Structure 1
Amino acid sequence: MNCLWILLLLVLVLGWKADGFEDLDVEDEAAAVGGQDVASGLFVALTLIQSAAAKGAVCLDGTLPGYHLHRGYGSGANSWLIQLEGGGWCNNVRTCVFRKTTRRGSSSYMEKLLQFTGILSNKPEENPEFYNWNRVKVRYCDGASFSGEGYDQIHGLYFRGQRIWLAAMEELMSEGMRNAKQALLSGCSAGGLSSILHCDEFRSLFPASTKVKCLADAGLFLDVADIAGAHALRSMFEGVVTLQCFFPQNLISHIQTPIFLLNSVYDLWQVMESIAPPTADPSGSWNSCRRSHATCSTAQIQVLQGFRNQMLNAVKSFAVSRQNGLFLNSCFAHCQSENQTTWFTNGSPVLKKKV
């Protein structure tokens, strides 16, 4: 897997040309449509990893990576939840150069205070299982799901996702995570993919006595055809490797650590960027449906149903494992663990008194 990402970043350095996902607002828009956050009142300060520079563990522009940590207490004092931030990818020099002028490529643009909601909330009525855990949001600034290794000297691009991952874990272990009785690695979107890629590596940080699990929220990116018959995500990476080991559907059954998948079968980002991307819909006939299923025509609903069926088929072998779990729902949403309205509110479904 590391070899795949090294190849990916080497190709980026050489300036591989492809249609990029440089519109960083697409994921924010998808998350917003999924539900507005209820203000939790908790804002957590950004901590830069000072030791990262010596390790070369830097953001795309060479700035220090960072995280937000809110300490646990009581019964959660020795429990840790690590949330890997999402935010798409850059896939060529042009999109990566643009990205380093944003918070997803440079800590210079990151919020100094970040609101913790959903799975990161400190309120038991909003987050009954994890409210008093040590909760961490690791910021995403490498453009490749905390993976990859490379440097483009001409354009000043540091592709150091794997180093950032290692530096962040080392820092958090020194902050007390090494004493964890239980630890959960989670992530949303590109961070959800990263939680899959790093799940077993996360497990290896702890002794066998520590209960370790992973949660991938909206990270089940499928290799599917769009409405024009093209494969948007596959074409994005076809210049890297012909094997499709980037796609989680080909990875999840090989993860040794218990992992839980949270995903919408009508994942909003994938509808917008994989099923009906603008390149496949020049007439704009999907513009309304891409954002609200209530406006979809019968034919468009059939396309969405087809995507749903492909997702269900993709997890068939994974679902039979007794150590794993999944919750696939019909919400027209993306990143449900980070939005309060899709994470936990009055009337949220429970199973055996668990959220």
Structure 2
Amino acid sequence: MDTGTHIVMGIALGGLATLDPVVGIDNPTAHAVMLGTILGSQAPDLDTILKLSNNARYIRNHRGITHSIPAIFIWSVLITGMITIFFPESNLLHLWLWTLFAIVLHVFVDIFNAYGTQALRPFSKKWVALGMINTFDPFIFIAHIVGIIIWLVGAPPGYTFLGVYAVLIVYYIVRFFMQRQIIHQLHELLDDIEQITISPTMKFRQWHIAITTKDRFHVARAVEGTIHFLDEFERVPVPQTDVMKAAEKDKNISAFLSFSPVYRWEVEEFSDHYEVRFIDLRYRSKNYYPFVAIVQLDTNLNIVSSYTGWIFSEEKLRKKLELIPE
């Protein structure tokens, strides 16, 4: 989920924790737990700082090891230890448990995005992405805001957020069945489906869809329960030519390939250089595929420049390639 949603979730969990008799309301443990749930709800996304380095490192590592099983426990211990410095009278066990719960919930809800997490590390580096909830879901965010407002006007926070989360559980179930219905429709419309990648949008009844069949890629959108096919590409294996092998050594290309589950490729040869491009098919927007990886190589197959990330026009992509030499 996005940072704003994780923040309001942390506040909500702090309110929910008041149902714990040991935590209570307006005492050192309650204040410590509120701080713990807010920090715990943010901690796994500390790897966002990698974006300051470069997109390749960010794409390869974001929601990776910081969302892993060992990291969950490391974050909880570090945050609890830090908070007890300021609230030495707080109950250590219950502070740790609620902080741990906030961190676990952060990782859990991220699994439902199309981006997903490597939550199974160290047992598996597979990306777990259920594709049911958009990274920013207006309903989830607003539900938390409403709960916080109700709390501020005097309602008991524990029962308020118990009600909020009961509603959200139903919401997740509804989204699950909506997704299953789309998958069922696709199997009725297409034969030889090998893989379906569904990416929810901020609109409740609109979904991005990328389908892999035996011979082709299909790009579609589900709108109001109807499947609209938008693009179709021949499924051609990535050739292991000298140009492609050199391109795949680039950090931006390798980061893209480690992350994207469905993509097509292009190679263009110019008089003085080659250009290799990989295009993620999950996020078609206004006839454009904004998530790409591209590398330019000279005639000796040395990398000249490369880029991976979100670009919404060819002009901006060209500027990126000029500004980011390898």
TM range (shorter): under 0.3
TM-score (norm 1): 0.23
Comparing both structures, which one devotes a greater share of its residues to helix?
A: 2
**Bigger RCO (CA 8 Å, 6+ sep):** 1
**CA radius of gyration, larger in:** 2
Q: Normalising by structure 2, report the TM-score.
A: 0.25
